[in-house]
Protein backbone atom coordinates (compact mmCIF):
# COMPACT_ATOMS: atom_id res chain seq x y z
CA UNK A 1 0.00 0.00 0.00
CA UNK A 2 1.49 3.42 -0.92
CA UNK A 3 2.33 5.81 1.89
CA UNK A 4 0.74 8.68 -0.01
CA UNK A 5 -1.98 8.82 -2.64
CA UNK A 6 -1.97 11.81 -5.03
CA UNK A 7 -5.09 13.91 -5.10
CA UNK A 8 -6.83 12.13 -2.24
CA UNK A 9 -9.07 14.52 -0.28
CA UNK A 10 -9.94 13.49 3.27
CA UNK A 11 -11.92 15.49 5.81
CA UNK A 12 -9.90 15.69 9.01
CA UNK A 13 -11.79 14.94 12.21
CA UNK A 14 -11.51 16.42 15.68
CA UNK A 15 -9.33 14.40 18.05
CA UNK A 16 -11.41 11.93 20.04
CA UNK A 17 -8.83 10.89 22.63
CA UNK A 18 -8.01 13.67 25.03
CA UNK A 19 -5.24 13.43 27.62
CA UNK A 20 -2.32 11.04 27.07
CA UNK A 21 -0.62 9.45 30.10
CA UNK A 22 1.67 11.77 32.03
CA UNK A 23 0.12 14.92 30.53
CA UNK A 24 -1.80 17.83 32.10
CA UNK A 25 -4.29 20.09 30.36
CA UNK A 26 -3.36 23.79 30.08
CA UNK A 27 -5.50 26.78 29.15
CA UNK A 28 -2.73 28.95 27.70
CA UNK A 29 -0.07 28.10 25.16
CA UNK A 30 3.45 27.78 26.65
CA UNK A 31 6.34 29.07 24.54
CA UNK A 32 9.26 26.64 24.40
CA UNK A 33 12.14 26.64 21.95
CA UNK A 34 15.92 26.64 21.79
CA UNK A 35 17.59 29.87 20.67
CA UNK A 36 16.02 33.03 19.26
CA UNK A 37 13.03 33.20 16.95
CA UNK A 38 14.14 34.17 13.41
CA UNK A 39 12.92 37.35 11.72
CA UNK A 40 10.39 36.98 8.90
CA UNK A 41 10.89 38.77 5.59
CA UNK A 42 8.06 37.98 3.14
CA UNK A 43 10.27 39.10 0.24
CA UNK A 44 12.95 36.48 0.87
CA UNK A 45 11.00 33.72 2.67
CA UNK A 46 10.82 30.37 0.83
CA UNK A 47 9.43 26.89 1.52
CA UNK A 48 11.24 24.10 -0.31
CA UNK A 49 10.36 20.44 -0.89
CA UNK A 50 13.44 18.49 -1.93
CA UNK A 51 15.04 15.05 -1.89
CA UNK A 52 13.27 11.95 -3.18
CA UNK A 53 10.62 13.83 -5.17
CA UNK A 54 9.76 13.95 -8.88
CA UNK A 55 9.37 17.74 -8.88
CA UNK A 56 11.38 19.80 -6.38
CA UNK A 57 9.25 22.67 -5.13
CA UNK A 58 10.11 26.22 -4.07
CA UNK A 59 7.24 28.41 -2.88
CA UNK A 60 7.47 32.07 -1.99
CA UNK A 61 5.07 33.63 0.51
CA UNK A 62 2.55 34.66 -2.16
CA UNK A 63 2.56 31.21 -3.79
CA UNK A 64 2.01 29.44 -0.47
CA UNK A 65 -0.97 31.64 0.35
CA UNK A 66 -2.47 30.94 -3.07
CA UNK A 67 -2.72 27.19 -2.39
CA UNK A 68 -6.06 25.74 -1.20
CA UNK A 69 -6.71 26.50 2.46
CA UNK A 70 -7.10 23.66 4.94
CA UNK A 71 -8.55 23.90 8.46
CA UNK A 72 -8.72 21.40 11.30
CA UNK A 73 -9.29 21.35 15.08
CA UNK A 74 -6.98 19.07 17.04
CA UNK A 75 -5.35 18.53 20.43
CA UNK A 76 -1.63 19.27 20.85
CA UNK A 77 0.70 17.46 23.28
CA UNK A 78 4.17 18.64 24.39
CA UNK A 79 6.82 16.25 25.70
CA UNK A 80 7.26 18.60 28.70
CA UNK A 81 3.88 17.20 29.90
CA UNK A 82 1.36 19.91 28.88
CA UNK A 83 -1.53 19.38 26.48
CA UNK A 84 -3.69 22.04 24.84
CA UNK A 85 -7.11 20.98 23.60
CA UNK A 86 -9.10 22.10 20.55
CA UNK A 87 -6.48 24.07 18.64
CA UNK A 88 -7.96 25.54 15.47
CA UNK A 89 -5.33 25.49 12.73
CA UNK A 90 -5.44 26.88 9.22
CA UNK A 91 -2.86 26.58 6.46
CA UNK A 92 -2.05 24.15 3.65
CA UNK A 93 -2.60 20.40 3.86
CA UNK A 94 0.52 18.27 3.57
CA UNK A 95 -1.39 16.26 0.96
CA UNK A 96 -1.55 19.37 -1.26
CA UNK A 97 2.21 19.86 -0.92
CA UNK A 98 2.94 16.21 -1.67
CA UNK A 99 0.74 16.45 -4.76
CA UNK A 100 2.97 19.28 -5.97
CA UNK A 101 6.24 17.45 -5.33
CA UNK A 102 5.35 13.86 -6.24
CA UNK A 103 7.22 11.59 -3.79
CA UNK A 104 9.33 8.96 -5.53
CA UNK A 105 8.69 5.28 -4.74
CA UNK A 106 11.79 5.11 -2.55
CA UNK A 107 10.65 7.98 -0.29
CA UNK A 108 9.92 6.57 3.16
CA UNK A 109 11.00 9.27 5.62
CA UNK A 110 10.89 13.05 6.04
CA UNK A 111 13.41 15.44 7.59
CA UNK A 112 12.04 18.91 8.39
CA UNK A 113 14.40 21.89 8.49
CA UNK A 114 13.87 25.18 10.35
CA UNK A 115 14.94 28.75 9.63
CA UNK A 116 16.24 29.08 13.20
CA UNK A 117 19.92 29.81 13.75
CA UNK A 118 20.61 26.39 15.32
CA UNK A 119 19.98 24.42 12.16
CA UNK A 120 17.03 22.70 13.84
CA UNK A 121 15.69 19.56 12.19
CA UNK A 122 13.22 16.86 13.18
CA UNK A 123 12.40 13.56 11.51
CA UNK A 124 9.36 11.34 11.04
CA UNK A 125 8.19 8.66 8.66
CA UNK A 126 6.41 9.65 5.45
CA UNK A 127 3.39 7.72 6.74
CA UNK A 128 3.27 9.90 9.88
CA UNK A 129 3.93 13.08 7.89
CA UNK A 130 1.25 12.41 5.27
CA UNK A 131 -1.70 11.79 7.60
CA UNK A 132 -4.72 13.73 6.31
CA UNK A 133 -5.09 15.94 9.42
CA UNK A 134 -1.53 17.30 9.19
CA UNK A 135 -0.74 20.69 7.71
CA UNK A 136 1.73 23.48 7.22
CA UNK A 137 0.03 26.05 9.45
CA UNK A 138 -0.10 29.81 8.97
CA UNK A 139 -2.92 30.54 11.47
CA UNK A 140 -3.88 29.40 14.96
CA UNK A 141 -7.27 30.06 16.58
CA UNK A 142 -8.21 32.55 13.87
CA UNK A 143 -5.05 34.69 13.97
CA UNK A 144 -1.77 34.57 12.03
CA UNK A 145 0.71 32.26 13.73
CA UNK A 146 3.04 34.38 15.87
CA UNK A 147 6.80 34.08 15.59
CA UNK A 148 7.01 32.80 19.18
CA UNK A 149 4.90 29.82 18.18
CA UNK A 150 6.74 29.12 14.95
CA UNK A 151 5.23 31.64 12.56
CA UNK A 152 4.92 32.54 9.85
CA UNK A 153 4.79 28.81 9.06
CA UNK A 154 5.16 25.67 11.11
CA UNK A 155 4.46 22.06 10.35
CA UNK A 156 1.81 20.57 12.66
CA UNK A 157 1.49 16.84 13.39
CA UNK A 158 -1.16 16.12 16.02
CA UNK A 159 -0.56 12.48 16.94
CA UNK A 160 3.11 12.94 17.93
CA UNK A 161 4.73 15.10 20.61
CA UNK A 162 4.94 18.75 19.66
CA UNK A 163 8.70 18.95 19.00
CA UNK A 164 7.93 17.02 15.78
CA UNK A 165 5.79 20.02 14.71
CA UNK A 166 8.74 21.96 13.32
CA UNK A 167 8.63 25.71 13.98
CA UNK A 168 9.79 28.24 11.32
CA UNK A 169 9.62 25.59 8.64
CA UNK A 170 11.96 26.14 5.68
CA UNK A 171 12.50 22.77 3.99
CA UNK A 172 10.68 19.46 3.71
CA UNK A 173 13.22 16.82 2.67
CA UNK A 174 12.00 13.37 1.60
CA UNK A 175 14.46 10.54 2.19
CA UNK A 176 14.72 6.80 1.50
CA UNK A 177 16.31 6.21 4.93
CA UNK A 178 15.60 7.70 8.35
CA UNK A 179 17.87 10.48 9.62
CA UNK A 180 17.54 11.67 13.21
CA UNK A 181 16.91 15.35 13.85
CA UNK A 182 18.24 17.85 16.39
CA UNK A 183 16.48 16.59 19.55
CA UNK A 184 16.44 12.99 18.39
CA UNK A 185 20.25 13.11 18.31
CA UNK A 186 20.21 14.51 21.86
CA UNK A 187 18.26 11.77 23.59
CA UNK A 188 14.63 12.27 22.56
CA UNK A 189 12.59 9.39 21.17
CA UNK A 190 12.77 8.83 17.43
CA UNK A 191 9.00 8.29 17.05
CA UNK A 192 7.37 10.35 19.87
CA UNK A 193 3.89 8.85 20.35
CA UNK A 194 2.25 10.58 23.37
CA UNK A 195 -0.08 7.64 24.00
CA UNK A 196 2.89 5.34 24.47
CA UNK A 197 4.89 8.05 26.36
CA UNK A 198 7.72 7.81 23.84
CA UNK A 199 9.70 10.67 25.34
CA UNK A 200 13.35 9.50 25.36
CA UNK A 201 15.62 7.40 23.18
CA UNK A 202 16.36 4.88 25.97
CA UNK A 203 12.71 3.78 25.62
CA UNK A 204 13.26 2.69 22.02
CA UNK A 205 13.48 -0.98 21.12
CA UNK A 206 14.46 -2.83 17.97
CA UNK A 207 10.93 -2.48 16.59
CA UNK A 208 11.29 1.33 16.56
Low-confidence ranges of the chain (pLDDT < 50): 1-16
Is there a contact between 125 and 193 (Cβ–Cβ < 8 Å)? Answer: no
Q: What is the pTM of this model?
A: 0.89
What was the pLDDT predicted at 184? Answer: 97
Q: Sketch out the chain's domains with CATH numbers.
A: 43-203 (3.90.420.10)
What was the pLDDT predicted at 81? Answer: 94
Strands 46-51 and 169-175: parallel
What was the pLDDT predicted at 135? Answer: 98
What was the pLDDT predicted at 8? Answer: 36
- Among candidates 95, 94, 9, 111, which has minimal Cα distance to 51? 111
CA distances in angstroms from 137 to 48, 69, 106, 150, listed in the order given:
15, 10, 27, 9
What was the pLDDT predicted at 14? Answer: 40
What was the pLDDT predicted at 12? Answer: 38
How far is Cα 112 from Cα 117, in angstroms, rounded to an integer?
14
How far is Cα 128 from Cα 8, in angstroms, rounded to an integer?
16
What is the overall mean pLDDT for the chain? 89
Amino acid sequence: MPLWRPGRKVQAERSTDRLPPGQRKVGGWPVLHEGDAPAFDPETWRLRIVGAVARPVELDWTALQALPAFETVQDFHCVTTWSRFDNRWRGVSVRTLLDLAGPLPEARHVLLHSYDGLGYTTNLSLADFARPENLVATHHDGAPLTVEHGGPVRFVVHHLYAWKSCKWLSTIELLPEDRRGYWEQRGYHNHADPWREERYSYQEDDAD
